[in-house]
Structure 1
Amino acid sequence: TSMEDAGESTRGCENISDSEEDRCSENDFGTSKLGTKEFWDDAYQKELETFNDIGDVGEIWFGEESMSRVLRWMDKAKIPENAAILDIGTGNGAFLVELAKHGYKNLTGIDYSPASVELARSVLQAEGLTDVTVKEMDFLSCQKELKGFDVCIDKGTFDAISLNPVNTNEGKRQYVQALKDVLKDNGFFAITSCNWTKEQLLDRFSEGFEFVQELSTPTFQFGGKTGNSVAALIFKRVH
């Protein structure tokens, strides 16, 4: 795949499938081309070409296990079917498809890669899901274009921003501000990360957000210590 060609693990947790703990156990990380728009434009352009050729959506970047985890939380939290839901960094739109199949009717996906947006739209159309909105948009500079969401979901986009070699700290600050702008008061934010621990995420989203719960993720043992390689947290927007 295009990711394997890159010789690196994929953005955040998006390539996680059955064995999440095998892929993402590093908490200390440097910058990487995985944090650049060029990398994702190229990756999704290749996937788009493959989809157009043979109808294969390619990698399910955000694996089944992670999608199921968030959907289970949404069920338990009784998120209504008409809730306005934003998929941040939608990639090939796989999670939008799952949300729609789950009965959610007010869905928006954004990605800064034009090829990603075209691929996601093609995948949704192939599934007969024509009322899902997908926009080409950089979440860090969405300004006031996005508003009033009940739920925002991130599965690796904050990780990718954290890997960007350019203006990394500013990017993380802009992300938090954008999230504040797009979420309604008491709206929920679900984040899945491989690069950040629970404690680091709690610190990063301490201003303007209230920690709700941690979702159960795979654990690993090393040197007699047990840890989580994936962090999945739920926050609520508060003032």
Structure 2
Amino acid sequence: MEDIGYPHGCERQEKAVAQSQSSSNDEFQPSKLGTKEYWDHAYERELQSFYDSGDVGEIWFGEESMDRIITWLEMQKISKDVALLDIGTGNGVFLIELAKSGFTNLTGIDNSSTAVELAKAIAEKEEVMSLKLQVADFLHPFPKLSQYDICIDKGTFDAISLSPDHPAEKRSLYQQSLHSVLKEGGMFLITSCNWTKEELVNHFSEGFEMLQELPTPKFQFGGKIGNSVTALVFRRK
């Protein structure tokens, strides 16, 4: 089996190498990918590209990651009017696909105002006008971000984990925020390229229980076979 590569911004390979050479803990090296400035600049470029050529920009983890989650939601016969929050919505393409699949109560937040501007522009072009898109920092949620049935994260927890400024504290804030905005019994679906199943289960052990691991592509690295990304479903206790 060949190495199929990693999504942009993933540092799992670097982590694997580091851990094979030392007894380091589960921290990553700080990265510009963990800063708001990096994403502001990235979305400024993507916004200009969209206005110039109509290119919507990068789909984090690829289209298969969106299909995987939508398929799971449909297999669970989740109500189409379920209150769903996309944490770190970026260009909003995932929410647009959810809307096209019939979901009607969709909210996307991002701490980059340029990302939200891009998401709104793409949604308008696609004539998907029902999305609620807003600038918000998930680590410091305000009252309007409350009581969702489903929260979805594709890469935001990864980016927070790469922060050069107190990443462990930010991961703790993330978990607290998730617990506050998700209804009791609500579902949390996370896709990560930096954390393994065991690490994610450990991170969210307080207040959440893992329900299912979703199938993801495989890779071969250092003679071992694993998943290139991890996709898990949790339930809030």
Q: Same fold (TM over 0.5)?
A: yes
Question: Which amino acid letter does the alignment assign opposite residue 125 of structure 1?
Answer: E
Q: Is the 8 A contact 2:7 2:60 kept in 1?
A: no
Residue in 2 aligned with 1:157?
A: 156
Cα distance between partner residues in 1 of 2:14 and 2:64:
19
**1:46-85 alignment, distance < 5 Å:** 46-85=45-84
- After TM superposition, the structure 1 = structure 2 runs for residues 200-215 of structure 1, keeping only pairs within 5 Å, are 200-215=199-214
Encode CA deviations 1:12-31: one digit per residue, 9 max, x unaligned: 5xxxxxxxxxx954545311
Match in the other structure for 1:177 = 176
Alignment match, 1:107: 106
Supply the RMSD in Å over aligned alpha carbons. Answer: 1.7
d(CA) in 2 for partners of 1:26 and 1:214?
Answer: 24
5+ residue gaps in structure 2? 1-5, 17-27
1:152 CA displacement:
0.4
Task: Tell me by how many angstroms 1:143 deviates.
Answer: 3.8
Deviations 1:195-224 (A, max 9, x none): 000000000000100110000011123454
Distance of 1:123 and 1:32 partners within structure 2: 29
Identity across the alignment (%): 56
Matches within 5 A, 1:1-239: 10-12=8-10, 25-28=13-16, 29-238=28-237
SS at match of 1:141: coil
Moved more, 52-61 or 91-100: 52-61
CA offsets per residue over residues 107-135 of structure 1, 9 Å max, x none? 00000001000000000011111110000
Q: In the aligned structure 2, how far is the partner of 1:163 from the partner of 1:189?
A: 21
Q: For residues 145-190 of structure 1, give each alpha carbon's deviation from its aligned partner in whole angstroms, at most 9, with x where no partner exists.
A: 3111111000000000000100111100000000000001110000
Amino acid aligned to 1:56: D
Q: How far off is 1:74 after superposition? A: 0.6
TM-score, normalised to structure 1, is 0.88
Task: Return 64-73 or 48-57, whichever deviates more.
Answer: 48-57
Tell me if the contact between 1:27 and 1:197 (Cα under 8 Å) persists in the aligned partners.
Answer: no
- Check conservation: 2:60, 2:154, Cα contact below 8 A: no
- Could you list the per-position Cα deviations for residues 73-114 of structure 1 after superposition, in whole angstroms to 9, with x for gaps in the alignment? 111111110000100000101101110011100000000001
Q: Secondary structure of the equivalent of 2:171?
A: helix
C-alpha distance in 2, partners of 1:200/1:183?
21
Q: Distance in 2 between matches of 1:147 and 1:178?
A: 9
TM-score by length of 2: 0.89
SS at match of 2:81: coil
Distance 2:149 2:43 in 1: 28
One-letter amino acid matched to 1:10: H
Structure 1: runs of 5 or more not aligned: 1-7, 13-22
